[in-house]
Amino acid sequence: MTDYNERPDSEELSDDERAILSELGESRRKFLGTVSATTFGVLAAQLLAEQEILANYRVPEDAVFAPVAEENAVSVTLNINGTKRALSLDSRVTLLDALREKLGLTGSKKGCDHGQCGSCTVIVDGRRVLSCLTLAATCEGKTVTTIEGLAKGDDLHPMQEAFIKYDGFQCGYCTPGQICSAVAMLDEAKRGQLSYLSENIRGKARAVKLSDDEIRERMSGNLCRCGAYPNIVKAIREVHTGTEVAETWEFVKEGVNDAAV
Amino acid sequence: MKNLDSKSHVRGESVYLDDIPVVEGTLYACVFDSPVAHGKLRSVNTDEAASAPGVVRVITANDLIGENQIGGILPDEPLLANGEVHFCGMPIAVVLAESDEQARAAASLVKAEIEPLEAIVDAREAFAKGSLIAAPKRFKLGDTEKAFESCAHVFEGKTRSGGQEHLYIETQGAYTLPSETGGLRVFSSTQGPTAVQKAVASVTGIPMNLIEVDVTRLGGGFGGKEDQANAWAAICAVSTQLTKRPVKYSLHRMEDMRMTGKRHPYSSDYRIGLDADLRIVAYDVVFYQNAGASCDLSLPVLERTLFHCTNSYFIPNVSAVAYSCKTNLPPNTAFRGFGGPQGMFVIESAIAHAADALGVDRDEIQRRNLLSSGDELPYGQIVESEAREAWSQADSVYDFATLKKEADEFNKTGGHLKKGVAMMPICFGISFTKTPMNQARSLVHVYTDGSVAVSTGAVEMGQGVNTKIAQVAASVFGISIEKVKVHTTNTLRIANTSPTAASAAADLNGKATQIACEKILERLNEVAAELELESWPPVGTGSGGDRQIGPPEGETPNWVELVNEAHLRRVNLSEHAHYATPGVGFDWSVAKGHPFAYHVFGTAIVGATVDCLRGTYEFDYVKCCHDFGQSMNSAVDRGQIEGGIVQGIGWMTIEEVVYDSEGRLRSNALSTYKIPDVYSVPDEIAIEALETTRPNLAVFNSKAVGEPPLMYGIGAYFAIREAVKAFDKENLPAFDAPFTAEKVLMNLHRS
Ligand code: FES
Ligand code: FES
């Protein structure tokens, strides 16, 4: 079996190597195998534990296999989180699957695969898109920003900071989509893009100041089953207005048991 | 104290089941499930699927090496259909292929010849035909027959409450790997690692000690991954066993919705008797629970319906009967509240009915009948009640009278908008009602660098349980929480776990962690004494009265040095502790006992505005006074309240699970099943903590908070109903939840 750590980046592969890889089942995500050097740091920390556990696993000699060939292969080059990534993939593969299965960028989540939940939201050329409804092949040459690309090293994006500050999540599964959506949504507002609730729909586009209702309207495509909505709105409002959102709630005896760290 | 996962959540680095890197050679599973709700399975033809591209094997019931059985409570749930199909979505065959896409494509090529039999989808119909999961359960207090005779007012009626899809944003799934000596490693998105381990053991015939189940965290559970996670893990396990390859199955949303059970729909009959002072003297109730095709958790859910059938009220004469009716729907299961909300909806409806008929305010009857400490509940437990305190605090802090007056004034002005206000008190028992489940274990290691690793049976699913457990360890040791890591839930480290459910995980696992840490601390302090150092932790930290955490100022002796010294002296720095809730027990032979460690109380005021032309509505506010005991993590607990309220409102209003008469799920995607979006949240959610210092059995006195707030959502139903009544006094909507906009509209303009 291949030693995963020594797996070359898919970018660096020769055509022959690529063909061999694809026979081995390149269509599946191999852990760390296809993760580039830049994303390695981010992913390594979270994957290392699993890697150690799984690395011991060997497929038994008598395991059953079926041949796999990549169908409808196309080559696509995407600019993902600041790095050019050349991919060979089935033309029917969605951007979400390309990110998750081919590039090891599992931050974008699959909640429905039907464009109905928003958890797969990423930013393509500055606009938020549902990556489950976007074919990877249509993103040729485009700039894709995923949740993994928002922070600069240890410095979180202001939206990420705000989500932490206001506890804009519980289970965290919808969070990457919420944050990507919110980041691009505020840019839309800056560009003067209108929404269903916009009052003035004539005249030149200019930066829109968002009310809470506007924020809700524009974020209504991102579902959160844990119901962290109130805090999500607060977080977005703070980033949008730059002013702290008053805490409207507190325990009568706040902090009696509350551990301050 | 922030949720410990905050950083990784916002960076997209938190690992969920579908994010676990797969190893070379992994196969992908896809289930072929029954398109028919009930029928004889004449034959299954897998030839075409087996020869489809990438397919390695197709598995049917005959291939199983172990038993074809995953029922947790009753052995009535085959993993794969054999001979008969019992619901639409019942797994019949499993296709294994080299890729996810190939598995899905091939699954559609499996053919089953099914001779349809009559399908039952309604609980009352099942009851009429004698189709029950088990014998009915009964609670009895006083003598209702006699009591009704003396009542000034008696009313009777029917109610219905619908199902609810869990819709955890992370769908169900599992990933299994073969391990040496014929064992299995199972990654599962489950609330019950031990339940998964048992189900896997059953279908593979592999003993439990060779099955390792590991859970990092869930992208939501809400009860839906308590027993319903078993099937997918079992399917992967069997597949790994037969192919010797790792197998992954992460369900598509529509598969998940179609194949898994939901909150139980109930249909109920009530009879309520009041005296001239509006005191409820007698209450008779019959519940018909739609259990679906097999037991799953239906019986304990049914029991909790009975436990909460009188909600927050003292009623001296109660007779309650509950039938778990077997139908041809997917096996319904746990959902936040676990049958409690269904029971509460009926008593609240009965009270509303009485109020309507007597021309008094609903809250007048509610208030007069609230529980007091010392009252006996229908199941024999003497309650330590905060019901009246919570009610009056909500009443005064939020000025209920003014809220009501404002709504009345508003409604007088005419127009097509009407407002309704409703009070909703809750009382929810904490503990598993099955007493043996009230136990937990925690494994704590202190390493020589001073860092601490904790493992428990609790599963993190957004409720912040790991954060609370880390707080417990940090607090007992008097060290910074950064030094504590709560690890994955793993059956090799912690055996025989109870599922993370019943709101009890933080209590049970937190207490076990507390015990483990205290034992280690005791040993450390013996070392400190030998060294003639002050005891650890220094004054101001530790497990005493306050929970301040953090490296103490001017710490002597140094934690790391003390730990090292202890290690050199060959002192055990690890502990595996056990906790069992004291004093709980229940005797079903007489249906009496003391099942709950304590109760959580609270009262919410819900305000709604209904558009009487369109039937649409909005919630202006939910203002509640909630009994936290003494919250150990206000951020986490507040999130649970807000989330619970939103989910409860969803259940009562927009979430409508629809099966057609042939048992096919019609609300089978997010396009046809609405869950609350950011718009459906009340404009204002106000939370006030009940002032109470009464000691309780919760960890650090911080009461369980997962389920209770969901039941505030019931107030939403009655707030809408008040608004509908304000539009047309004569109009008294039937008690039929969810109150969808369509239903509201139809109620507004009947005739
Ligand atoms: S996964 Fe793309 S919208 Fe749900
Ligand atoms: S945080 Fe759980 S779905 Fe949003």
Is ligand 1 within 6 A of the CB of residue A112?
Answer: yes
Give the residue from B4, B9, B249, B691 with the most A CB atoms within 10 Å of its CB, the best one to mutate: B9
Q: How many other CB atoms are found less than 10 A from the CB of residue B109?
A: 18
Nearest CA distance, A78 vs chain B (angstrom): 20
Alpha-carbon distance B305 to B344, whole Å? 8
pLDDT score of B587 more than 90: yes
Give me the pLDDT at residue A212, please. 93
Q: Would you place residue B180 in the very low, low, confident or very high pLDDT band (cuts 50, 70, 90)?
A: confident
pLDDT score of A65 more than 80: no
In Å, what is the CA distance from B239 to each residue of B28, B31, B63, B207, B387? 10, 12, 10, 17, 52
Class of the CATH domain delimited by B439-580? alpha beta
**Which of B383-392, B531-540, B625-634 comes out lowest in average pLDDT?**
B531-540
Q: Would you place residue B720 in the very low, low, confident or very high pLDDT band (cuts 50, 70, 90)?
A: very high
Residue whose tokens read 């699927």: B49
Contact by Cβ (8 Å): B91, B80: yes
Q: Would you place residue B281 in the very low, low, confident or very high pLDDT band (cuts 50, 70, 90)?
A: very high
Give me the pLDDT at residue A181, please. 98
Q: Taking all residues of chain B, what is their mean pLDDT, rounded to a whole number?
A: 95
Q: Give, as one character, the DSSP assignment of residue A151.
A: S
**Which of helix, strand or coil describes residue B299?**
helix
pLDDT score of A31 more than 90: no
Give me the pLDDT at residue B638, please. 93
Is ligand 2 within 6 A of the CB of residue A226?
Answer: yes
Q: Whose CA is nearest to atom 4 of ligand 2?
A: A224
- Could you read off the pLDDT of B156-165 as tens digits, one per residue? 999 999 999 9
Give me the pLDDT at residue B184, please. 98
Nearest CA distance, A153 vs chain B (angstrom): 11
Give me the pLDDT at residue A5, please. 38
- Could you read off the pLDDT of A40-50 as tens digits, one per residue? 333 344 444 44
Sequence letter at residue B458: A
Nearest CA distance, B15 vs chain A (angstrom): 7
Alpha-carbon distance B3 to A169, whole Å? 9
Residues near B5 by beta carbon (within 8 Å), at least 6 away in sequence:
A172, B14, B217, B460, B466, B467
Alpha-carbon distance B751 to B733, whole Å? 13
Q: Would you place residue B550 in the very low, low, confident or very high pLDDT band (cuts 50, 70, 90)?
A: very low
Class of the CATH domain delimited by B6-117+166-259? alpha beta
Q: For B604, phi and psi rounded to 5 degrees?
A: -120, 150
Give the residue from B169, B250, B461, B655 with the most A CB atoms within 10 Å of its CB, the best one to mutate: B169
CA A122 – ligand 1 centroid, Å: 11
Sequence letter at residue B399: D
Alpha-carbon distance B382 to B386, whole Å? 13
**Which of A41-50, B303-312, B365-374, B448-457 comes out lowest in average pLDDT?**
A41-50
- Could you read off the pLDDT of A232-260 as tens digits, one per residue? 999 999 999 988 776 654 443 333 344 33
- Could you read off the pLDDT of B296-334 as tens digits, one per residue? 999 999 999 999 999 999 999 999 999 999 999 999 999
Q: Among B169, B636, B646, which residue has the most ligand 2 atoms within 8 Å of its CB, making it the best to mutate? A: B169
**Which of helix, strand or coil describes residue B115?**
strand
Give me the pLDDT at residue B553, please. 47
Which residues are registered as beta bridge partners of A216?
none
Q: Would you place residue B535 in the very low, low, confident or very high pLDDT band (cuts 50, 70, 90)?
A: confident
Give me the pLDDT at residue A41, please. 37
**Which of A15-24, A82-91, A109-118, B319-328 comes out lowest in average pLDDT?**
A15-24
Both structure tokens of A145: 């920003």
Give me the pLDDT at residue A14, please. 53
Listed in order, the ranges of chain B carrying CATH 3.90.1170.50 are: 6-117+166-259
Q: Taking all residues of chain A, what is their mean pLDDT, rounded to a whole number?
A: 78
Alpha-carbon distance B350 to B621, whole Å? 24
B340-358 helix and B714-727 helix, angle to the nearest 10 degrees: 30
Q: Which of B212, B655, B707, B722 is catalytic?
A: B707
pLDDT score of A55 more than 60: no
Q: Would you place residue A28 in the very low, low, confident or very high pLDDT band (cuts 50, 70, 90)?
A: very low
Q: Would you place residue B549 in the very low, low, confident or very high pLDDT band (cuts 50, 70, 90)?
A: very low
Mean pLDDT of B657-685: 96
Both structure tokens of B360: 């008094």
Active site residue B707: yes
Q: Whose CA is nearest to atom 2 of ligand 2?
A: A171
Q: Would you place residue B414 in the very low, low, confident or very high pLDDT band (cuts 50, 70, 90)?
A: confident
Quick one: which ligand is closest to B646's CA? 2
Percent of chain B's residues with pLDDT above 90: 92
Mean pLDDT of B609-620: 96
**Which of helix, strand or coil describes residue B408?**
helix
Alpha-carbon distance B520 to B487, whole Å? 19
CB–CB of A167 and B635 under 8 A?
Answer: yes
**Which of A245-254, B64-73, B194-203, B615-624 comes out lowest in average pLDDT?**
A245-254
Percent of chain A's residues with pLDDT above 90: 58
Mean pLDDT of B638-664: 97
Of B6, B99, B676, which has the smallest distance from its Cβ to A227's Cβ?
A: B676
Q: Would you place residue B751 in the very low, low, confident or very high pLDDT band (cuts 50, 70, 90)?
A: low
Which residues are registered as beta bridge partners of B442?
B456, B577
**Which of B43-57, B292-306, B721-735 comes out lowest in average pLDDT?**
B721-735
Give me the pLDDT at residue B680, please. 87
Three-state secondary structure of B637-686: HHHHHHHHHHHHHHHHCCCCCCECCCCCECCCCCCCCCCCCCCCCCCEEE
Which residues are registered as beta bridge partners of A76?
A87
Percent of chain B's residues with pLDDT above 70: 97
| Chain A partners within 8 Å of B166 (Cβ) | 225
Quick one: which ligand is closest to A119's CA? 1
Alpha-carbon distance B278 to B270, whole Å? 17
Nearest CA distance, B394 vs chain A (angstrom): 13
Q: Would you place residue B1 in the very low, low, confident or very high pLDDT band (cuts 50, 70, 90)?
A: confident
Residues near B402 by beta carbon (within 8 Å), at least 6 away in sequence:
none
Is ligand 1 within 6 A of the CB of residue A176?
Answer: no
Which residues are registered as beta bridge partners of B272?
B155, B283
Is ligand 2 within 6 A of the CB of residue A169?
Answer: yes
| Chain B partners within 8 Å of A121 (Cβ) | none
Give me the pLDDT at residue A180, please. 98
Residue whose tokens read 């209450």: B283
pLDDT score of B85 more than 60: yes
Of B21, B474, B691, which has the smallest distance from its Cβ to A31's Cβ?
A: B21
Q: For A73, phi and psi rounded to 5 degrees?
A: -65, 135
Contact by Cβ (8 Å): B602, B425: yes
Q: How many other CB atoms are found less than 10 A from the CB of residue B180?
A: 9
The total number of residues shown for chain A amounts to 261
- Could you read off the pLDDT of B415-434 as tens digits, one per residue? 899 999 999 999 999 999 99
Q: pTM of this prediction?
A: 0.91
Nearest residue to B17 via CA among B375, B356, B686, B488? B488
CB–CB of A222 and B678 under 8 A?
Answer: yes
Contact by Cβ (8 Å): B621, B684: yes
Listed in order, the ranges of chain B carrying CATH 3.30.365.10 are: 266-433+589-748, 439-580
The correct answer on CATH 3.30.70.60 for the domain covering B266-433+589-748 is: no
CA A98 – ligand 1 centroid, Å: 14
Contact by Cβ (8 Å): B429, B473: no
Both structure tokens of B154: 């008696």
Both structure tokens of A43: 């992913």
In this structure, the strands spanning B91-97 and A143-145 are unpaired
In Å, what is the CA distance from B347 to each residue of A230, B425, B623, B720? 31, 12, 21, 17
Nearest atom (ligand 1) to Cα of A115: 3
Q: H or E segment at B27?
A: strand B27-33
**Which of A8-17, B168-177, B448-457 comes out lowest in average pLDDT?**
A8-17
